[in-house]
């Protein structure tokens, strides 16, 4: 006998696929939700097996503290564990100042938890040193979107628009393995007569679906975009009316692009001129077209300029700010979009407000009931924060991240974590980072808690609690409430997620990411399809968002208030920029950019390029998916993908261990020989710790604007192990 399925969402990628959870004789089971528009019921293997991580066999069920006597992590009571964390943070703050306490969050935290974590850092601890692993996800696209459009939202249109456009250029994304349910949008695009161009140094399963596949050298996407814009200008294919009416800065951007003639771009990127011409023709002949980027062009030390060049191509051809056209970023992490909107990013306050803006500080401080001057300024970005551990930063509270595996130059980051005076980790599983902690706090996960997430479309969704957490497990909101109370802030950190969301609504009101017109009641309406931000409160609803009416409404009166709200509510904004862009003058801004080399190019000692990425059956650092037997059977460990010509030079056979060496470290993994990769490039997935840890090799060189590390390209040499 099964219980009725409770509608919720997958805990993994930013599609946030709809699913239902039911309890039956075999435990918690996934049930399809065909009515949810994003995935139409389809799920990848990770989604189907997600309940496996709910098992007490693989997850944390009691707090752990490091014994002073044995040096080992040993079970403890919650009171002892929370007290020890509070004591460690308080002692550090007293001895070294508030900024000696660091806070590191995650792109998988719900909006409520991300909001509470940012508030905790700035109010309870008083530290500026907070950032999160979403910095490693799409910060370059966010920075470029802010520069060009005045606003960053992963996709400024819903996914349903993709099959109806005329052409899509997909840059540095392997949707078939990273977001399999989204591949149907590209399949439908081609079935409707649209064209698909995939840009990737590997001929991936996604690239095999393309009408045209361009395989540039890693790190040359910027030159490629500029070369296409050069061709568009040279062939008279620009949309001069759109440029005149809705943009600024075109002449400078045009001049920069014209320095990148096709033959020059071919020498840089390795993409033949005829393919460049074909791509430009297909894009311009489409009528309406889109460019979608992912981590390939973004995780570079010039990622912001690279994305900016693709945006310039869209603007120059009139493919922005109109239906079925535009630029979008395929956000990676489950709440990568919402996670950076509400305060756990080093330079932002809730509502996507700038921490340096006096009006923003005053508004948020008013909601929090503190003096605006008491709020610290911007802190370090993610890698810079991790690099400072054990130096300026003596203690760290970490929630929902595993930087020992996921950070660039990971061996160095692990060393810095080990040098801390105090480390506390709140997580679902005993990750590689949690194993180094002084205190580990076991927290609830997706199916055991209610909270909102915001998917890659900007669609705010309610993930409902479907099962009970094991005894001994508490929510992150409980953790922050307890720590804040120990630190003298007994009020202001509620444990009820809906209460936190109501405060988030007020804090975001009037900001770029305005959630004030969204409520839990709205998110449960109909099929639970969610609401697209910005969604400001309107009329009386604005008062309710401030809490004036919500607090007073009781019983039937509360139901009536909800009905009235539903009648007058802002509908949300599925499609941005159709009337104006979010800049002061309403115009999109061209930004002139020029190609520059990667931070590290091949040389005689390190003659090969390394690029990294994901595989179908694993997710991010693998902390959760590596605990699922079915997924491990499909992808049991790391590998080095290399071209047959490169393998022949090294005299390496299929499956033979290969040592990959960079200036930062080495990794060893079996060879996977394939002609689907460039002969000057090797690929490694980054899901595993130990000797196969790909991020032991990667370069932490940072983009000057976004502070994104250059995960996607570095110089290596290969040796037979």
Q: What token pair was written down for 29?
A: 């089971």
For residue 224, pLDDT beyond 70: yes
The CATH topology of domain 155-330 is: Dimethylsulfoxide Reductase; domain 2 (3.40.228)
Of 239, 262, 220, the C-alpha closest to 312 is 239
Residues near 334 by Cβ (< 8 Å), separated by ≥ 6? 10, 11, 12, 13, 14, 16, 107, 108, 453
To the nearest 10°, report the CA torsion of 635, 639, 642, 648. Answer: -120
Q: For residue 223, give the 3-state DSSP assignment.
A: helix
541 confidence band (pLDDT: 50, 70, 90): low
Q: What number is the average pLDDT over the span 74-103?
A: 98
Task: Say which CATH topology domain 64-136+335-568 has.
Answer: Rossmann fold (3.40.50)
Rounded percentage of the chain residues whose pLDDT exceeds 70: 96
Residue 569: per-residue pLDDT: 86
544, pLDDT greater than 60: no
Residue 375: which of 366, 387, 383, 384 has the closest Cα? 366
Per-residue pLDDT tens over the stretch 512-529: 999 999 999 999 987 899
479-516 confidence digits (pLDDT tens): 999 999 999 999 999 999 999 999 999 999 999 999 99
- Is 50 exceeded by the pLDDT of residue 563? no
| CA atoms within a 13 Å half-sphere pointing along the CA-CB vector of 142 | 28
CA dist 681 and 610 (Å) reads: 6
Give the pLDDT score at 1.
Answer: 57
Q: Which residues pair with 399 in a beta bridge?
A: 426
Residues of the chain with CATH 3.40.50.740: 64-136+335-568
Mean pLDDT of 278-302: 97
Plot region of 352 (φ>0 → left; ψ -120 to 50 → alpha; else → beta): left
- Summarize pLDDT for 112-124 with one digit per residue, the tens: 999 999 999 999 9
Q: Is the pLDDT of residue 565 over 60?
A: no
Residue 233 reports pLDDT greater than 60? yes
pLDDT category at 568 given cuts 50, 70, 90 is low
| Delimiting residues of CATH 2.40.40.20 domain(s) in the chain | 608-720
The DSSP 8-state label assigned to residue 510 in this structure reads T
Residue 600 predicted with pLDDT over 90: yes
Decide: 126 and 112 in contact? Cβ < 8 Å: no
pLDDT tens digits for range 1-10: 567 899 999 9
pLDDT of residue 3: 78
Tens of pLDDT, residue by residue over 658-696, are 999 999 999 999 999 999 999 999 999 999 999 999 999
What band does 543 get if pLDDT is binned at 50, 70 and 90? low
Query: Quick check: 248 pLDDT over 60?
Result: yes
Residue 553: pLDDT above 50?
no
Q: Looking at the chain, how many residues does it have?
A: 721
Quick one: pLDDT band at residue 45, thresholds 50, 70, 90?
very high
- pLDDT of 147-181, one tens digit each? 999 999 999 999 999 999 999 999 999 999 999 99
667 burial type by CB count under 10 A (0-12 exposed, 13-18 middle, 19+ buried) = buried
Buried b (16+ CB within 10 A) or exposed e, 402-435: bbbbbbbbbbbbbebbeebbbbbbbbbbbbbbbe
Per-residue tokens: 56: 């007490």
Contact 334, 138 (CB under 8 A): no
What single string gives the DSSP state of each residue in 56-116? TTTS--S-EEE-TTT-SEEE--HHHHHHHHHHHHHHHHHHH-GGGEEEEE-TTS-HHHHHH
Residue 71 falls in which region: left (phi positive, over 0), alpha (psi -120 to 50) or beta: left
Span(s) in the chain for CATH 3.40.228.10 = 155-330
Task: Answer whether residue 552 shows pLDDT above 70.
Answer: no
- Flag whether pLDDT at 451 surpasses 70: yes
- Given a cut of 80, whether residue 51 has pLDDT beyond it is yes
DSSP 511: S
Mean predicted lDDT score pLDDT of the chain: 95
Numbered ranges of CATH 2.20.25 in the chain: 6-54
- Cα–Cα distance measured from residue 117 to residue 300, given in angstroms and rounded to the nearest whole number: 28
Instruction: Read off the pLDDT of each residue in 562-587 and give the average, rounded to a whole number.
Output: 83
Choose the weakest-confidence range: 44-48, 467-471, 561-565.
561-565
Measured CA to CA, the distance from residue 227 to residue 222 in angstroms comes to 9
Please identify which residue in the block is written with the tokens 């995650």. Answer: 106
Domain 6-54 in CATH 2.20.25: yes
Q: Answer for the pair 161, 328: CB distance below 8 angstroms, yes or no.
A: no
Tokens of 249: 């800065």
- H/E stretch holding 451: strand 451-454
Look at residues 496, 508, 498 and name the one whose alpha carbon lies nearest to residue 546: 508
Do 596 and 302 contact (CB within 8 A), yes or no?
yes
Helix-, strand-, coil-residue percentages of the chain, each rounded to 5:
35, 20, 45
Q: Under CATH, what is the fold of the domain 608-720? A: Barwin-like endoglucanases (2.40.40)
Say which residue the tokens 């502070």 belong to: 707
Find the largest Cα–Cα distance for the chain: 77
Question: Is the model's pLDDT at 448 over the cut of 60?
Answer: yes
Quote the pLDDT of residue 71. Answer: 95
Which pLDDT score is estimated for 648? 97
């Amino acid at each position: 006998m099964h219980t009725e399925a409770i509608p919720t969402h997958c805990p993994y990628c930013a599609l946030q696929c709809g699913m239902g959870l039911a309890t039956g004789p075999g435990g918690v089971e996934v049930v399809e939700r065909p009515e949810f528009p994003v995935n139409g019921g389809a799920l990848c293997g990770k989604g189907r097996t997600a309940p496996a991580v709910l098992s007490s066999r693989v997850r944390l069920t009691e707090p752990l503290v490091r014994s002073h006597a044995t040096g080992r992590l040993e079970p403890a009571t919650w009171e002892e564990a929370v007290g020890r964390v509070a004591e460690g943070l308080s002692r550090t703050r007293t001895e070294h100042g508030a900024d000696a306490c660091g806070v590191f969050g995650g792109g998988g935290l719900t909006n409520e938890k991300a909001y509470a974590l940012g508030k905790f850092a700035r109010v309870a601890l008083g530290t500026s040193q907070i950032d999160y692993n979403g910095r490693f996800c799409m910060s370059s696209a966010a920075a470029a979107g802010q520069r060009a459009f005045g606003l960053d939202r992963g996709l400024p249109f819903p996914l349903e628009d993709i099959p109806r456009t005329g052409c899509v250029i997909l840059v540095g994304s392997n949707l078939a393995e990273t977001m399999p349910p989204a591949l149907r949008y590209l399949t439908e695009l081609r079935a409707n007569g649209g064209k698909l161009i995939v840009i990737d140094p590997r001929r991936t399963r996604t690239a095999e679906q393309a009408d045209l596949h361009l395989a540039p050298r890693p790190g040359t996407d910027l030159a490629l975009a500029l070369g296409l814009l050069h061709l568009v200008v040279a062939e008279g294919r620009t949309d001069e009316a759109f440029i005149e009416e809705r943009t600024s800065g075109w002449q400078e951007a045009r001049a920069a692009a014209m320095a990148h003639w096709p033959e020059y771009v071919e020498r840089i990127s390795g993409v033949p001129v005829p393919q460049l011409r074909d791509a430009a023709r297909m894009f311009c002949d489409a009528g309406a077209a889109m460019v979608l980027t992912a981590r390939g062009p973004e995780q570079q030390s010039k990622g912001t300029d690279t994305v900016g060049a693709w945006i310039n191509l869209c603007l120059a051809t009139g493919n922005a700010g109109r239906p079925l056209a535009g630029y979008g970023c395929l956000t990676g992490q489950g709440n990568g979009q919402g996670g950076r909107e509400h305060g756990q990013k080093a330079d932002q306050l809730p509502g996507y407000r700038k921490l340096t803006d006096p009006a923003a500080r005053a508004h948020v401080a008013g909601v929090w009931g503190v003096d605006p001057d008491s709020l610290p300024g911007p802190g370090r970005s993610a890698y810079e924060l991790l690099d400072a551990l054990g130096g300026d930063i003596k203690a760290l509270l970490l929630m929902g991240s595993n930087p020992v595996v996921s950070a660039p130059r990971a061996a160095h980051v692990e060393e810095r974590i080990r040098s801390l005076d105090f480390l506390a980790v709140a997580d679902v599983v005993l990750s590689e980072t949690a194993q180094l902690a002084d205190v580990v706090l076991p927290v609830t996960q997706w199916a055991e808690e209610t909270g909102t997430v915001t998917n890659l479309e900007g669609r705010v969704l309610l993930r409902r609690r479907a099962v009970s957490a094991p005894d001994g497990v508490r929510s992150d909101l409980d953790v922050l409430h307890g720590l804040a109370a120990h630190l003298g802030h007994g009020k202001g950190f509620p444990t009820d997620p809906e209460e936190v969301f109501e405060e988030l609504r007020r804090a975001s009101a009037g900001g770029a990411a305005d959630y004030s017109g969204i409520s839990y009641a709205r998110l449960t309406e109909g099929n639970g399809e969610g609401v697209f931000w910005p969604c400001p409160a309107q009329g009386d609803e604005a008062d309710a968002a401030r809490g004036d009416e919500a607090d007073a409404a009781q019983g039937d009166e509360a139901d009536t208030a909800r009905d009235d709200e539903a009648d007058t509510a802002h509908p949300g904004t599925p499609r941005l920029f159709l009337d104006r862009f979010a800049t002061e003058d309403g115009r999109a801004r061209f930004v002139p950019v020029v190609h520059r080399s990667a931070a590290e190019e091949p040389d005689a000692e390190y003659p090969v390029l390394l690029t990294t990425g994901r595989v179908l059956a694993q997710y991010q650092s693998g902390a959760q998916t590596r605990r699922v037997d079915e997924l491990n059977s499909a992808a049991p460990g790391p590998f080095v993908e290399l071209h047959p010509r490169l393998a022949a030079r090294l005299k390496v056979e299929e499956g033979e261990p290969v040592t990959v060496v960079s200036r930062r470290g080495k990794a060893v993994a079996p060879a996977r020989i394939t002609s689907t990769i460039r002969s000057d490039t090797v690929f490694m997935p980054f899901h595993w710790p130990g000797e196969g840890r790909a991020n032991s090799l990667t370069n932490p060189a940072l983009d000057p604007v976004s502070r994104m590390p250059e995960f996607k390209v570095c110089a290596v040499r290969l040796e037979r192990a």
